[in-house]
Amino acid sequence: MEQMSLFGNDEVFIVVDLETTGLNPFEGNEIIEIGITEIRNGKIVRSYSRFVKPEQEIPPFITELTGISNEMVANEDTIEQVLPRFRKFIGSNTIIAHNAKFDIKFLNYYLNKLGLEEIKDYICTLELLKKVSSYGGKNKKLATACEYYGIENKNAHRASSDTQATAELFLKIRDKVDK
């Protein structure tokens, strides 16, 4: 899983970030926002995000963290409507995420629930940071790595801003990974 080419410029990578109602889909937590940033030929070419209407109310602490309220998602499509289009868009491209285990756990839970193909190929920028000996950040959090590498993430904990920052981080560190 996860050992994809980091150095080729002709590949397409899809950076993904989710905002959710909690930490575990197996405990009823849901996806409320999906963000995508596409990297093609070593360049960021587009970003996109959309809200997802959950079945349950968004907890107040999640609204405080993300700024996403129940009113914002009230008229959005459900995960059953959004995820098939998302999976089709990804196709066979490699996913990139910061702390990918979190996002992949949610995605695969809902993909399985809908009978869609799981995500198998992914790259985790958090794990890549562990292999960059020149990284001097105090921890591997996205905010810390962005600060260290001078990447602006104006709206942290929002999917589109986080995917843009993760894409920039990936492009900065992929050639610094200790082989």
- State residue 7's pLDDT score: 52
Average pLDDT over residues 116-120: 96
Helix, strand, coil shares, percent, the chain, to 5: 40, 20, 40
Give dist(CA 24, CA 108) in Å, integer: 12
Question: Does residue 179 sit within a domain?
Answer: no
Backbone dihedral region of 7: left (phi > 0), alpha (psi from -120 to 50 degrees) or beta? alpha
Average pLDDT over residues 25-37: 97
pLDDT tens digits for 84-117? 999 999 999 999 999 999 999 999 999 999 999 9
Question: Does residue 60 sit within a domain?
Answer: yes
Confidence of residue 135 (pLDDT cuts 50, 70, 90): very high
Model confidence, pTM: 0.92
pLDDT tens digits for 43-88? 999 999 999 999 999 999 999 999 999 999 999 999 999 999 999 9
Counting residues of the chain whose pLDDT is more than 70, the rounded percentage is 94
- State residue 6's pLDDT score: 56
| The pLDDT of residue 152 is above 50 | yes
- State residue 11's pLDDT score: 87
What is the CATH number for 52? Answer: 3.30.420.10
Question: Does residue 96 sit within a domain?
Answer: yes
13-48: string of b/e by CB count within 10 Å (b at 16+)?
bbbbbbbbbeeebeeebbbbbbbbbbbeeeebeebe
User: Cβ neighbours of residue 126 under 8 Å, at least 6 residues apart?
Assistant: 98, 99, 100, 140, 142
Question: Does residue 91 sit within a domain?
Answer: yes
Question: Does residue 3 sit within a domain?
Answer: no
| The pLDDT of residue 2 is above 50 | no
Give dist(CA 145, CA 142) in Å, integer: 5
| The pLDDT of residue 179 is above 90 | no
Question: Does residue 80 sit within a domain?
Answer: yes
| The pLDDT of residue 3 is above 60 | no
Confidence of residue 156 (pLDDT cuts 50, 70, 90): confident
- State residue 34's pLDDT score: 97
Total number of domains in the chain: 1
Active site residues: 157
For the chain, the average pLDDT equals 93
Amino acid at 3: Q
Residue span of the structural domain in which 110 resides? 12-173
119 token code pair:
């995500």
**Strands (E) located in 41-172:** 43-51, 94-97, 122-124
